[in-house]
């Protein structure tokens, strides 16, 4: 009955990870998946996460019971505050419904499923989700799995290696009323290019005129500006403007809880007399979707994050750990650019330090990426994205020299 099933291509990121692991060359460099590495190229357990582990393990009442369908309440309420700000009127007015999810992927999926079932835009063409071009590869699969039609808006300018703001705003202006627009809250994946606050204001103005629906993916809060609240400026601005919106939140990167799958999904409705009733109804439907798919979310990662988020002392230690990670990444940006400029590698390299967050979109072509892999054992995605955290003081010069060589070929 399944003879016609065709072999699917390997996942671009997890396939790359497997290829890197199989490579026996000691010089190999992993710039593939977006996971933080320390200066010795090994995973880093945040010191504050170790403390939370110890606190949890010393609790005699800790057990393996089910969490509620919507997840750990202390975790979801702290997650709301982290996303919208502790004094957000949306929280105070009970206009936010939040469910713990299987990290950011689960939150994107729950949002997509919810939209495919319940979203009723003013025009039927409006029930289309617009993704940035390029975007995180999984976005396409997640939204096509729930049968949402997908279109793209321009995002990255190949010339400036910065934001194609005119292209983006032009597409938003011409997209049908009510269209769903997926926006990266900060530290855009894969480009490392974000709109300025002024550009975000213009995006919000156009989307309001067009009655478009924002869906924010927030996977890198704490990796962009160095301040958790500044990183979420765009989300908070849209909430202030009275939008109804969705947020998918991941704790994979900012807590280093990759495999624990800790994340949260938030629905916000606009202010108004029935806002809290609408929110409660939506929350009840989201709970039914969640129950049928995962029943209830996994406990451990949420307990770790909740322990930190709800303790002011641990919270400030977490901010220090975030600065350690983002600071080392910035140093590697500077070192890579300096080395390329010192060697006078053909091309301009200012974008390496202009871009922010976990990634740099280098501008290297697919054939250059393949040459780097075959000749130099450097692993990065075909689109030229590098995970900056894979660079360190031991390999940054080796990588720069390899880039120099393939660019000159």
Query: Least Å distance between CB 381 and ligand LMR?
Result: 8
- Say whether residue 75 binds ligand LMR (CB under 6 A): no
Return the number of other C-beta atoms located less than 10 Å from residue 159's C-beta. Answer: 8
Shortest gap between Cβ of 270 and ligand LMR (angstroms)? 31
318 is a catalytic site residue: no
Is residue 33 part of the contact set for ligand LMR (CB under 6 A)? yes
Q: Is the peptide bond before 176 cis (omega within 30 degrees of 0)?
A: no
> Could you say which of 28, 127, 253, 339 is catalytic?
253
Among 34, 176, 178, 214, binds ligand LMR (CB under 6 A): 34
Q: Based on the shown chain and the rule CB under 6 A, indicate whether residue 360 belongs to the binding site for ligand LMR.
A: no
Residue 233 designated active-site: no
Site membership for ligand LMR, residue 131 (CB under 6 A):
no
- Cα 361 to its chain centre, rounded Å, is 15
Q: Which of 39, 77, 133, 138 binds ligand LMR (CB under 6 A)?
A: 138
Instruction: Give yes or no for residue 130 binding ligand LMR (CB under 6 A).
Output: no
**Of the candidates 29, 392, 12, 389, which has an alpha carbon nearest to the alpha carbon of residue 220?**
389
> Does 253 participate in catalysis according to the annotation?
yes
DSSP conformation class of 165:
H
Min separation Cβ 375 and ligand LMR, Å? 23
By beta-carbon proximity to ligand LMR, the closer residue of 297 and 357 is 357
Q: Rounded to whole angstroms, how far apart are CA atoms 39 and 42?
A: 8
Q: Which of residues 12-31 bind ligand LMR (CB under 6 A)?
A: 13
| Interaction of residue 136 with ligand LMR, rule CB under 6 A | yes
Phi, psi (degrees; rounded to nearest 5) at 41:
65, 25
DSSP state of 259: G
196 is written with which tokens? 């300025």
Q: Does 256 bind ligand LMR (CB under 6 A)?
A: no
Query: What values do phi and psi take at 42, rounded to 5?
Result: -120, 155
State the catalytic residue, choosing from 217, 321, 339, 349: 217
The least CB distance from residue 93 to ligand LMR, in Å, is 33
Sign of CA dihedral 203, 253, 36, 324: positive
Shortest Å, Cβ 368 to ligand LMR = 20
Size of the site for ligand LMR (CB under 6 A): 6
- Spatial contact of 221 and 185, defined as CB atoms under 8 Å apart: yes
Tokens of 252: 């994979």
Nearest to 330 by CA among 402, 388, 263: 388
Say how far apart CA 278 and CA 318 lie, in whole Å: 35
Residues present in the chain in total: 409
Residue 189 contacts ligand LMR per CB under 6 A:
yes
Q: Give the nearer residue to ligand LMR in terms of CB position, either 250 or 392.
A: 250
- The residues assigned a catalytic role are 136, 217, 253
List of residues contacting ligand LMR (CB under 6 A)? 13, 33-34, 136, 138, 189
């Amino acid at each position: 009955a399944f003879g016609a099933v065709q072999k699917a291509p390997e996942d671009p990121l997890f396939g790359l990870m497997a290829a890197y692991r199989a490579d026996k060359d000691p010089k190999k460099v992993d710039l593939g998946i977006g996971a933080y590495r320390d200066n010795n190229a090994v995973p880093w357990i945040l010191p504050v996460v170790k403390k939370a582990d110890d606190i949890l393990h010393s609790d005699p009442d800790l057990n393996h019971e089910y969490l509620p369908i919507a997840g750990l309440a202390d975790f979801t309420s702290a997650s709301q505050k982290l996303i919208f700000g502790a004094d957000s009127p949306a929280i105070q007015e009970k206009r936010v419904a939040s469910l713990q999810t299987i990290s950011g992927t689960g939150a994107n999926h729950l949002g997509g499923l919810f939209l495919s079932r319940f979203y009723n835009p003013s025009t039927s063409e409006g029930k289309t989700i617009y993704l940035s071009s390029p975007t995180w590869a999984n976005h396409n699969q997640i939204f096509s799995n729930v049968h949402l039609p997908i279109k793209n808006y321009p995002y990255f300018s190949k010339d400036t290696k910065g934001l194609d703001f005119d292209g983006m705003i032009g597409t938003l202006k011409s997209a049908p009323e009510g269209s769903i627009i997926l926006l990266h809250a900060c530290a855009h994946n894969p480009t490392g290019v974000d709109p300025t606050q002024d550009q975000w204001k213009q995006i919000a103005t156009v989307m309001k005129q067009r009655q478009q629906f924002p869906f924010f993916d927030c996977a890198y809060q704490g990796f962009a500006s160095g301040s958790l609240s500044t990183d979420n400026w765009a989300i908070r601005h849209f909430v202030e403007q009275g939008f109804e919106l969705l947020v998918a939140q991941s704790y994979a990167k900012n807590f280093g809880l990759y495999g624990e799958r800790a994340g949260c999904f938030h629905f916000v409705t606009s202010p108004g007399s029935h806002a809290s009733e609408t929110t409660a109804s939506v929350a009840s439907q989201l709970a039914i979707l969640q129950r049928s798919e995962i029943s209830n979310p996994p406990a451990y990662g949420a307990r770790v994050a909740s322990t930190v988020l709800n303790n002011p002392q641990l919270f400030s230690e977490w901010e220090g750990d975030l600065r350690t990670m983002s600071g080392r990444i910035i140093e590697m940006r500077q070192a890579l650019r300096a080395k390329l400029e010192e060697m006078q590698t053909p091309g301009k390299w200012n974008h390496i330090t202009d871009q922010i967050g976990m990634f740099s979109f280098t501008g290297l072509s697919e054939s250059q990426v393949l040459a780097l892999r075959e000749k130099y054992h450097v692993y990065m995605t075909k689109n030229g994205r590098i995970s900056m955290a894979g660079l360190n003081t031991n390999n940054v010069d080796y990588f720069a020299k390899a880039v120099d060589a393939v660019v000159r070929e």
